[in-house]
Structure 1
Amino acid sequence: MNYFAHALNHFDRPYYMAGTAIPDWLSVADRKVRLRPRLLEPWLTAESTVQADVAAGALQHLNDDDWFHATRGFVEVTGELTHWFREHLGRDEQYHCGFLGHVGMELLLDGVLAEKYPTQFEEYWRILDGVDPITIQTAVNCMAKSPTIRLAWFIDIYRREQFLRSYENDQALLRRLNQVLQRVKLSPIPDHAVAVVSSGRMLVRQRLRDLLPAEHYRML
């Protein structure tokens, strides 16, 4: 799952909603900082409501990932995307098609959800504008083994650039996927791979409920 999918059912608690993004924000802003369940759980009953909501939101993200990666939809859709990427790119190890299938599916899932729930997508950004990045960073530093000074900075960038908007366009999503590859020091993929993105988008639309099964995820 990615940012919008994690957040969609939690708009009633802004710092909880923001908390669902923290593991992914940290993976970009400060990769050495990790929030494990054992670090989060003691804070769920913190006297500060904001602290408790940030902890609960981050834990929600980790729990979401656990069931999501175990679904039949995740296995089958990522497998299909991996196969299509290999067909377009060959078996050159520089492309790590399994990684492309996984990350590409998650970006496409956010794009399909934004398309399906446009009003909620705009509300997502409005709610994020109302939270304080320094407050979130301070809450994280209470829980993490290593402090971060880059999280608040990245939250500001995330809110300003709103790069999730690019996920609704195949060519723009391909550019974002290449930015992810660059960040983890993998080779960018060529423009003709946009055909895989386009086919993948149709597949994610068709398999949406398999990816987000009713027993785990409430559709609006």
Structure 2
Amino acid sequence: MNFLSHYYFERDNPDENIVLGVILPDLIKNAQKEINLYPLKEKQLFLGDPIQHSLLKGWERHLEVDRVFHNSDFFKVQTHALKQLILPACENSPVKPFFLAHIGIELVLDHILTVKGIINIHTFYEQLIKSDKKAIELFLKNCGVTDTSIFMKFLDNFITSRYLFSYQKIENISYALNRICMRIWPNPFTETQTEMLTEKLIIYRDALEPEYLDIFKRIERMLPPII
């Protein structure tokens, strides 16, 4: 799941550091894709500091949500459905349709959550602003990151840009998908292909809307309370 879909499960959580922890794995991958962190293997490093412990709780919640989501029938069925729909947009493109469908589902879910008003993006960013930046640096250092400046600069830009507000428009989901693909393939889509992708995403979104919330409720029922 993507940033706002992960936030859905903590939308009423007053602990801003848990909220940041919930999206921290994806933030790190966006900031420094070569870094792999495994804080849950050494929990004892974070238990002495309540704020770092909150970050760890959020991190653990992120992994659990992704595990349930990616193993669900919903994900398998919807990945196949979107893959078939976007095949014409991927013709003569280096982009793998399954990869695009996987990411596309997650971004479309974020989009629907915003347009339906299920989550409040402003509140999300306000919580990120309140999160303890010194504790984040210590958390990363405990994970083995020696130079935290790259991530901290990325986090600051992520917060100040308010980029996720753009997810309210479906054409920006196509733009985001194109940008993601550009990290792997040069010139993944032509302008015409991007326009076609938007058309396919609109069809997919309209078909998904009546049942999109089911997967969130299903995951919610399976999640243990944060202690």
Q: TM range, normalised to the smaller chain?
A: 0.7 to 0.9
* Corresponding position of 1:63: 64
In angstroms, what is the RMSD of aligned CA positions?
Answer: 2.3
Distance 1:87 1:40 in 2: 46
Distance 2:146 2:214 in 1: 37
Task: Give the C-alpha shift of residue 85 in structure 1.
Answer: 1.1
CA contact (8 A) 1:73 1:207 kept: no
* Corresponding position of 1:52: 53
Instruction: Provide the secondary structure at the position in 1 that maps to 2:188.
Output: coil
* Corresponding position of 1:88: 89
Distance 1:122 1:58 in 2: 22
Instruction: Provide the secondary structure at the position in 1 that maps to 2:103.
Output: helix
From 171, 194, 199, the counterpart of 2:198: 194
From 201, 215, 218, the counterpart of 2:221: 215
Alignment of 1:65-80 (within 5 A): 65-80=66-81
Further displaced range: 148-157 or 57-66: 148-157
Task: Give the C-alpha shift of residue 119 in structure 1.
Answer: 6.0
The verdict on how the C-alpha distance between 1:165 and 1:209 changes in structure 2, with shifts beyond 3 A counting, is same
Distance 1:40 1:68 in 2: 25
Counterpart code for 1:111: H
Distance 1:184 1:20 in 2: 25
Distance 1:208 1:41 in 2: 34
Counterpart code for 1:25: L
* Corresponding position of 1:16: 18
From 32, 41, 44, the counterpart of 1:42: 44
Task: Give the C-alpha shift of residue 150 in structure 1.
Answer: 1.5
CA contact (8 A) 1:133 1:156 kept: no
Distance 2:146 2:76 in 1: 33
The verdict on how the C-alpha distance between 1:217 and 1:114 changes in structure 2, with shifts beyond 3 A counting, is farther
Task: Give the C-alpha shift of residue 197 in structure 1.
Answer: 1.4
The verdict on how the C-alpha distance between 1:40 and 1:116 changes in structure 2, with shifts beyond 3 A counting, is farther
The verdict on how the C-alpha distance between 1:141 and 1:106 changes in structure 2, with shifts beyond 3 A counting, is same
From 22, 27, 30, the counterpart of 1:28: 30
CA contact (8 A) 1:95 1:186 kept: no
The verdict on how the C-alpha distance between 1:114 and 1:78 changes in structure 2, with shifts beyond 3 A counting, is same
Task: Give the C-alpha shift of residue 95 in structure 1.
Answer: 1.8
Distance 1:114 1:131 in 2: 22
Further displaced range: 207-216 or 162-171: 207-216
Task: Give the C-alpha shift of residue 132 in structure 1.
Answer: 3.7
CA contact (8 A) 1:78 1:102 kept: yes
CA contact (8 A) 1:29 1:151 kept: yes
Task: Give the C-alpha shift of residue 146 in structure 1.
Answer: 6.0
Distance 1:135 1:36 in 2: 17
CA contact (8 A) 2:6 2:23 kept: yes
CA contact (8 A) 2:82 2:101 kept: yes
Consecutive unaligned residues of structure 1, counting only runs of 5 or more, are none
Cα distance per residue 1:94-136 (max 9 Å; x no partner):
1211011010110111111122236632211111121243431
Distance 1:217 1:110 in 2: 20
Instruction: Provide the secondary structure at the position in 1 that maps to 2:120.
Output: helix
Consecutive unaligned residues of structure 2, counting only runs of 5 or more, are none
Distance 1:208 1:43 in 2: 38
